Amino acid sequence: MKQPSKIVLYILGVLILMAVLVGCQSQTPTATAGEPTAVPQTCPTPEACPPDLSGEIPFWQKWQASGHANAEAAAFTHWNTEEPPEIPATCAKCHSSQGFLDYVGADGSEAFKVDANAPVGTVITCNTCHNEATLALDTVKFPSGAELTGLGREAICMTCHQGAASKVQVDEAIQKAGATDEDQVVGELGFINVHYYAAAISRYGSQVKGGYEYEGKRYDVLFEHVAGMQTCTDCHDSHSLEVKVDTCSTCHEGATSVESLRDIRMASSQVDYDGDGNVEEGIYYEVDGLRQMLYQAIQAYASEVAGTPIVYSAEAYPYFFIDTNKNGQADADETQYPNRYNAWTPRLEKAAFNYQVSMKDPGGYAHGAKYIIQLLYDSIESLNEKLSQPVDLSKAHRNDPGHFAGSEEAFRHWDAEGKVPNTCVKCHTAEGLPQYLAEGTNISMLPSNGLMCETCHSSVTTFERYQVESVTFPSGAKLGFADKADANLCLNCHQGRDSTVTVNRAIAGKDPDTVDEKLSFRNVHYFAAGATLFGTEAKGIYEYAGKTYAGPFKHVQGVETCTDCHDAHSLEVKTASCQGCHQVDDPAKIRMTSKADYDGDGDTQEGLKGEVETMKELLYAAIQAYAKDVAGKPIVYSPVAYPYFFVDTNANGQADADEVNFQNRYNAWTPRLLTAAYNYQYAQKDPGGYVHNGVYVLQALYDSLADLGTKVKVDLTKLVRP
């Protein structure tokens, strides 16, 4: 006879245990509805409790003290007084052991579906999470319709900790109620509740779309923690549910209790999200500050627009009530179901849903604060559209600085494809640069939510930075800051993707003024500050044959590298460093001893930025003249739409909305037009070029004008080439 497997024996033992527990729990009196505040007790009296099985069942004591074992909690007793006393199928998945086993298919039924109502009297026991079905479970289906796969064991946690509603359910309710006006009260509309402890919403952000995401907005995705601290059970004990604070403290100094976790704020969060002037407080307080601002906006909107004052109670269903005495407080006689709020408009519904999302994940600040911040900010912004006195967002911030702005195009561009190509991962994923430094090449990777500590730091305990002796630029030149190996990290990405060498390769052997259908725009890419700084050594700008160009811009000692002038995390310019020598707090005003009027506008007092800006305007005009008169097809430029240069179909000289699309990209390139357009784009895409190496930029702009001037009218008489 075949011997039973260890897993079968284990399950049999657990089933026996469950029988004992159920017998105990069935004697449990009905608890008062609401969230438990006392230490969980699994049995009403010591006599009714099963014997201490801690010597036989692993983690018994931890489990007994957890919310999952609290047989008196409303989460398990809410339906005890129903007739019949049973848990509806819509709730059973997470509020009964039998319902969960039904949902995952452990009872032999179809997975991801609860087939029937479940009996009352169970909690989350060993067998709920430990069975053959959950061993294979790695997919979670969310209320929005999103699915995550390949999750491993945390799929068990997220099956319940995902909320019960999303943008989809909110929009469906609004549509079903027949609402067509954002600000019209609709009697059929009631509050849509996300439900409790939806940690997966905060953590995975826009990947699961659990919050109400406003149209036209981008949102952060999965919050990437450090390696080894990425899943639910990496941070929470799976049996006691407690946060593993000791693990937190290895990186976060002073994190010695759950309360102290609220004080954590990393260097990647150097903007004032709630606008209170405090950028030292923990992210918890930034979230709370924005939440208070949203509540203020909700109350103002409810009174001014919906016409019925509103208050909120975190403990009483359905949470939002009519403020009958208009004192702005949720008084005991108001927080009763018959007094539920009943003047919902679509706009108010959406904002209230996001407020509840932030309230019902008390650990949201750790799970995915930036997603919650974006939801709160956008909700305030929406309500502000109708308020006579909008809530002040002028000092608040929705997004992180560029390197950590996970919702922005630099990191979200490849979401539809599902992976970032190997040619882009070095600079557009968190793990790309470390892989490149280790291997000298890259493979494609999944999109990431901005850069991480590990992107630049070889250690997340000592925060040492990777050492890079030199960096290879697109021209082939190997350059770097001497004796400052860690400062060279920035140059790996801030070098552009083209150069004089690559542009010359593209136009080699072609007539300067003949349209060639094989030519397409060569784009230097964004923020090629490193190439600008090293000047002709890097040859990032297109350098015309026979001309001499400036080399590396030598600043004063101590203000020579990228991080000497920019904060490595906020990216802001350290203007205080400029003031000592230049006596100005705005780098745009800086101009050294030269009195030359480079741009010919008669102003020799303006900062070098002004000289560059005017020269760019002159070059754009010359590009448009050449495209029309020589290439035979008018051209326009858009700094925000790839590939930037488009056919000016109505010949009005403006980049109109219907023109800036890829299908209308400019397609009448000549070598002469291409080189000038490349330099124009270069000057546009290094907005700090006037500081990084202003002379080099001006030389290239002047030479581009002079080259076009051989074919179209360009007045160089008042211009000066540095």
Query: What's the CA gap between 132 and 129, in Å, rounded?
Result: 9
Give the pLDDT mean for 215-238: 92
Q: Which helix (H) or strand (E) holds 636?
A: strand 635-637
Q: Identify which of 142, 128, 153 has the alpha carbon closest to the alpha carbon of residue 195.
A: 142
b/e burial code for range 671-684 (CB count within 10 A of at least 16 → b)? bbbbbbbbbbbbbb
Judge contact between 396 and 264, C-beta under 8 A.
no
Degrees to nearest 5, angle at CA 409 with 404 and 411:
50
Tell me what pLDDT residue 558 has: 85
pLDDT tens sequence across 575-608: 888 887 888 888 999 888 788 999 999 999 999 9
pLDDT band at 14 (very low <50, low <70, confident <90, very high): very low
Residue whose pair of structure tokens reads 């954002």 in the numeric block: 182
Tell me what pLDDT residue 482 has: 87
pLDDT tens sequence across 146-170: 999 999 999 999 999 999 999 999 9
Mean pLDDT of the chain: 91
pLDDT tens sequence across 103-162: 999 999 999 999 999 999 999 999 999 999 999 999 999 999 999 999 999 999 999 999
Structure tokens at 600: 């010919």
Residue whose pair of structure tokens reads 């074992």 in the numeric block: 69
- CA 258 vs. chain centroid, Å, equals 25
pLDDT tens sequence across 335-356: 999 999 999 999 999 999 999 9
For residue 722, give the amino acid letter.
P
Q: Identify which of 39, 50, 111 has the alpha carbon closest to the alpha carbon of residue 72.
A: 39
CB atoms within 10 A of CB 596: 12
pLDDT band at 19 (very low <50, low <70, confident <90, very high): very low
Structure tokens at 596: 């030359």
pTM for this one? 0.88
Tell me what pLDDT residue 376 has: 98
pLDDT band at 712 (very low <50, low <70, confident <90, very high): very high
**Any idea which of 452-466, 631-645, 689-703 has the lowest mean pLDDT?**
452-466
Q: Is the pLDDT of residue 552 over 60?
A: yes
Q: Is the pLDDT of residue 27 over 90?
A: no
Tell me what pLDDT residue 50 has: 53
Q: Is the pLDDT of residue 3 over 70?
A: no
pLDDT band at 51 (very low <50, low <70, confident <90, very high): low
Degrees to nearest 5, angle at CA 640 with 639 and 646:
65
Tell me what pLDDT residue 486 has: 84
Tell me what pLDDT residue 56 has: 75
Tell me what pLDDT residue 542 has: 98
Respond yes or no on whether the N-terminal peptide bond of residue 58 is cis (omega within 30° of 0). Answer: no
Give the pLDDT mean for 231-245: 94
3-class SS letters over 60-86: HHHHHCCHHHCCCCHHHHCCCCCCCCE
Q: Identify which of 478, 456, 453, 454 has the alpha carbon closest to the alpha carbon of residue 467.
A: 456
Write the DSSP string, 354-373: HHHHHHH-TTHHHHHHHHHH
Phi, psi dihedrals of residue 340, rounded to the nearest 5°: -55, 150
Q: Is the pLDDT of residue 483 over 70?
A: yes
Q: Residues with Cβ < 8 Å from 400, sequence gap 6 or more?
A: 268, 269, 271, 370, 406, 450
Q: Is the pLDDT of residue 680 over 60?
A: yes
Tell me what pLDDT residue 33 has: 34
Query: What's the CA gap between 642 and 590, in Å, rounded?
Result: 32
Query: What's the CA gap between 695 and 699, in Å, rounded?
Result: 6
Q: Is the pLDDT of residue 322 over 90?
A: yes
pLDDT band at 11 (very low <50, low <70, confident <90, very high): very low
Biggest distance spanned by C-alpha atoms of the chain: 102
pLDDT band at 532 (very low <50, low <70, confident <90, very high): very high
> Which residues are 636's β-sheet partners?
646
At 340, is the secondary structure helix, strand, or coil?
strand
Give the pLDDT mean for 277-304: 98
Structure tokens at 606: 């303006």
Write the DSSP string, 662-713: GGGB-----HHHHHHHHHHHHHHH-TTHHHHHHHHHHHHHHHHHHHHTTTS-
Q: Is the pLDDT of residue 492 over 90?
A: yes
For residue 351, give the amino acid letter.
A
Give the pLDDT mean for 610-618: 97
Higher-scoring residue by pLDDT: 82, 17? 82
Phi, psi dihedrals of residue 281, rounded to the nearest 5°: -65, 155
At 311, is the secondary structure helix, strand, or coil?
strand
Give the pLDDT mean for 412-441: 96
